[in-house]
Amino acid sequence: MNAATAIRNGWQKVFGTGARSERPPAIDTSHGPILYLEDITVSFDGFKALNALTLYIDAGELRCIIGPNGAGKTTMMDVITGKTRPDCGSAWFGQTTDLLAMTEPEIAQAGIGRKFQKPTVFEHHTVFQNLELAAAGEKSVWATLLKPLSATQRELVDSVLETIRLQDTRSMLAGALSHGQKQWLEIGMLLMQDPQLLLVDEPVAGMTPQEVERTAELLLSLAGKHSVVVVEHDMAFVRSIAKKVTVLHEGHVLAEGTIDEMQSHPRVVEVYLGE
């Protein structure tokens, strides 16, 4: 499921019928973590893409996940979002929401947003309209775009535009944006759903150094309000945002700690950084 589909399947916060009353109940993070993955194993024809993976993400945390190709990073995101069902293990969103009992759209509605590597914006609509559509849920494109915005809706779009720093491009067609701007717009589209947990797969691949820097600022600004899990290979970028880094290898956690600890960890250097 791509991000646009996820958004369409997402709960209707501002533009949909019933508006805020349809917002899912807040996730219970009273014990600290917003995400619990325990003993998750995923096999493909006997090969274990995830092998008893156990990982916790705290509410409001910005976590970086690194590791060699094939380590299981994308499969982990697939399990969290309901795209792939594990053979065994458990996955909880806060204290009370069992992700393994939910469908992909239900997980998106519960407040988990996923940003895939390739941007999937509506190229033939403006930046502003993209954000409007992102909040529209099941309604048709034209029904959404023809209906005038309420003051609250406009405020929400404006605040997201400010967060992703695309105010000056609001009337531009999304197709005319740079690659980096499209990535920010897509993050903005996810933000229209106000996800409590955001999963971001290789956000800075193909970006200019300036775009990488702005992406770091953007993700840092989201932490606290949201929990953010970032998979990324660009170590300078990881260094600029990460407090805690998890290294995946062969489907489980090889090491966890600060970026300095990871960069001086013999096994991490051996299997990943020394590549």
Ligand X SMILES: Nc1ncnc2c1ncn2[C@@H]1O[C@H](COP(=O)(O)OP(=O)(O)O)[C@@H](O)[C@H]1O
List contacts with Mg ion (CB under 5 A). Answer: 73-74
The first and second tokens of residue 191, run together, are 């933000």
Q: Which residue sits closest to Mg ion, CB atoms considered?
A: 74
Q: Which of 80, 84, 86, 47 is nearest to 198 (CA)?
A: 80
The first and second tokens of residue 243, run together, are 């407090």
Q: Given strand 47-58, what is the order of strands in its sheet?
A: 47-58, 33-44, 88-93, 97-98
**Left if phi > 0, otherwise alpha if psi is -120 to 50, otherwise beta: which for 130?**
alpha
Residue 124's identity, in one-letter code, is H
Give least dist CB 123 to Mg ion, A.
Answer: 25
Give least dist CB 75 to ligand X, A.
Answer: 3
Q: Which is nearer to ligand X, 72 or 86 (CB)?
A: 72
The first and second tokens of residue 61, run together, are 């945390």
What CA–CA distance (Å, rounded) separates 9 from 261? 40
37 φ/ψ angles, rounded to the nearest 5 degrees: -115, 125
Give least dist CB 111 to Mg ion, A.
Answer: 23
b or e along 88-125 (b: 16 or more beta carbons within 10 Å of the residue's beta carbon)? ebebbbbeebebeebebbbbbbbbbbbbbeebbbbeeb
Neighbours of 48 (CB within 10 A): 17
Q: Which is nearer to ligand X, 201 or 211 (CB)?
A: 201
Candidate residues 72, 86, 113, 119; the one interacting with ligand X per rule CB under 6 A: 72
Of residues 9 through 68, those in contact with ligand X by CB under 6 A are 44, 49, 67
Q: Which is nearer to Mg ion, 55 or 59 (CB)?
A: 55
Give least dist CB 248 to ligand X, A.
Answer: 6
Q: Which is nearer to ligand X, 68 or 105 (CB)?
A: 68
What CA–CA distance (Å, rounded) separates 173 from 186? 14
Q: Does 73 bind ligand X (CB under 6 A)?
A: yes
Candidate residues 69, 96, 171, 210; the one interacting with ligand X per rule CB under 6 A: 69
User: Which part of the chain contacts ligand X (CB under 6 A), choosing from 23-31, 71-79, 126-134, 139-147?
Assistant: 71-79
Q: Which is nearer to ligand X, 49 or 131 (CB)?
A: 49
Q: Which is nearer to ligand X, 86 or 137 (CB)?
A: 86
Q: Does 74 bind ligand X (CB under 6 A)?
A: yes
Q: Does 70 bind ligand X (CB under 6 A)?
A: yes
Give least dist CB 231 to ligand X, A.
Answer: 7
Q: Which is nearer to Mg ion, 57 or 136 (CB)?
A: 57
What CA–CA distance (Å, rounded) separates 134 from 153? 12
Candidate residues 75, 193, 227, 246; the one interacting with ligand X per rule CB under 6 A: 75
The first and second tokens of residue 230, run together, are 């970032």
Q: Does 230 bind ligand X (CB under 6 A)?
A: no
Give the binding site for ligand X (CB under 6 A): 44, 49, 67, 69-75
